[in-house]
């Protein structure tokens, strides 16, 4: 059935966006703007592919991708949090470094046969017509992406630690005055962002297209960054935005194959147009935007002694 086929493709295309964006969301909620998502993603992708290739296990590959992303993000953390370097410049540098480094690491892996992560069929539920194969016969990345979004939403808004993290992102000086370890919390948030971006990269090289090619994230890290703003820093908004973006992207390919005569450049631009439109609509609600935007986003913090 064509609708189901389209939706299956949409899920695969949206999952890495959701994963990378939810990580960045937590990072930004703690007040740190990390523009290195694209670089962390390709590092995760090469780490995951290399490990899966060496061990034969896509699950070890997934863990390696996650770890690679987290460790790589530590570099960003050290530069911006400990050395208080400019976050925007450091983030951009992280992306460029990640692209170059991953290409170097992966040089011998180009063209090697990939290992695709198998789907995990959830008994009974996957037998439900239509919904079953879509939602309950997917790979681990899909389940994880939903779980992380739900978990993040719960953590940020229902737990004390989540409140502390948001406080750090809104006013690091006040949080510091209250005796909160601002730098420590930001390190953890940055690493969470790196781990999620690494996971997103692993999805690319283990599920989406089980292979390694240089720069295989192809701009998805930047889309993830835009999604965080699109979602006005709310976890479920990231899920919605990711799927909307995926649906429009895949929809336009199908529209072309159906022979609908709309210029394909327009169709390719459509996801971005939709994103801008939604941003315009959201920005009408000033109060909502103000409440959700981390007030200390991107601002350097040097604890006074």
* Residues found near other proteins in the complex (CB under 8 A): 2, 5-6, 9, 13, 16, 103, 107, 110-114, 116, 204, 208-211, 213-216, 218-220, 249-250, 253-254, 256-259, 261, 263-266, 268
Residue 256 vs 292, nearer CB to other proteins = 256
**Rounded Cα–Cα distance for residues 41 and 23 (Å):** 11
Residue 265 vs 284, nearer CB to other proteins = 265
Residue 257 vs 302, nearer CB to other proteins = 257
Residue from 79, 86, 78, 51 nearest 67 by CA: 51
**What is the closest distance, in whole angstroms, from the C-beta atom of residue 105 to other proteins in the complex?**
12
**What is the closest distance, in whole angstroms, from the C-beta atom of residue 246 to other proteins in the complex?**
9
CB 175 within 8 A of CB 182: yes
Residue from 275, 246, 273 nearest 262 by CA: 273
Residue 107 vs 127, nearer CB to other proteins = 107
**What is the closest distance, in whole angstroms, from the C-beta atom of residue 266 to other proteins in the complex?**
8
Residue 46 vs 216, nearer CB to other proteins = 216
**Rounded Cα–Cα distance for residues 114 and 207 (Å):** 9
**Rounded Cα–Cα distance for residues 201 and 63 (Å):** 11
CB 38 within 8 A of CB 219: yes
Residue 176 vs 254, nearer CB to other proteins = 254
**What is the closest distance, in whole angstroms, from the C-beta atom of residue 47 to other proteins in the complex?**
17
Residue 142 vs 192, nearer CB to other proteins = 142
**What is the closest distance, in whole angstroms, from the C-beta atom of residue 205 to other proteins in the complex?**
9
**What is the closest distance, in whole angstroms, from the C-beta atom of residue 216 to other proteins in the complex?**
5
Tell me how crowded residue 10 is: count the other CB atoms within 10 A of its CB: 21
Name the residue with tokens 């599920």: 207
**HEC per residue, 81-113:** HHCCCCHHHHHHHHHHHHHHHHHHHCHHHCCCC
Residue from 220, 151, 257, 256 nearest 12 by CA: 220
**What is the closest distance, in whole angstroms, from the C-beta atom of residue 172 to other proteins in the complex?**
37
**What is the closest distance, in whole angstroms, from the C-beta atom of residue 159 to other proteins in the complex?**
35
Q: Phi first, then psi: give them for residue 295, nearest 5 degrees.
A: -65, -30
Residue 130 vs 266, nearer CB to other proteins = 266
């Amino acid at each position: 059935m064509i609708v189901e086929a389209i939706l299956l493709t949409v899920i695969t295309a949206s999952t890495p966006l959701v994963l990378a964006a939810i990580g960045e969301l937590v990072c930004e909620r703690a007040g740190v703007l990390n523009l290195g998502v694209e670089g962390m993603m390709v590092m995760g992708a090469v780490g995951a592919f290399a490990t899966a290739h060496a061990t034969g296990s896509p699950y070890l590959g997934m863990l390696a991708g996650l770890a690679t992303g987290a460790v790589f993000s530590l570099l960003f953390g050290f530069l911006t949090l400990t050395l208080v370097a400019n976050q925007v410049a450091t983030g951009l540098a992280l992306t460029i470094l990640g692209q170059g480094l991953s290409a170097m690491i992966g040089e011998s892996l180009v063209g090697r046969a990939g290992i695709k992560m198998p789907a995990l069929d959830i008994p009974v539920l996957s037998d439900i017509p239509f919904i079953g194969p879509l939602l309950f016969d997917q790979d681990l990345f899909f389940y994880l992406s939903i779980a992380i979004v739900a978990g993040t939403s719960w953590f940020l808004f229902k737990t004390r630690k989540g409140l502390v993290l948001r406080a750090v992102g809104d006013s690091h000086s006040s949080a510091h005055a209250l005796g909160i370890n601002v730098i420590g919390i930001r390190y953890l948030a940055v690493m969470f962002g790196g781990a999620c971006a690494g996971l997103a990269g692993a999805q690319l090289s283990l599920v989406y297209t089980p292979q390694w090619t240089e720069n295989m994230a192809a701009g998805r890290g930047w889309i993830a960054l835009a999604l965080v703003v699109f979602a006005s820093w709310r976890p479920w908004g990231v899920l919605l935005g990711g799927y909307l973006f995926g649906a429009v992207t895949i929809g336009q390919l199908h529209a072309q194959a159906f022979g609908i005569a709309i210029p394909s450049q327009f169709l390719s631009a459509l996801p971005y147009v939709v994103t801008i439109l939604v941003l315009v609509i959201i920005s009408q609600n000033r109060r909502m935007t103000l409440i959700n935007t981390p007030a200390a986003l991107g601002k350097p913090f040097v604890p006074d002694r």
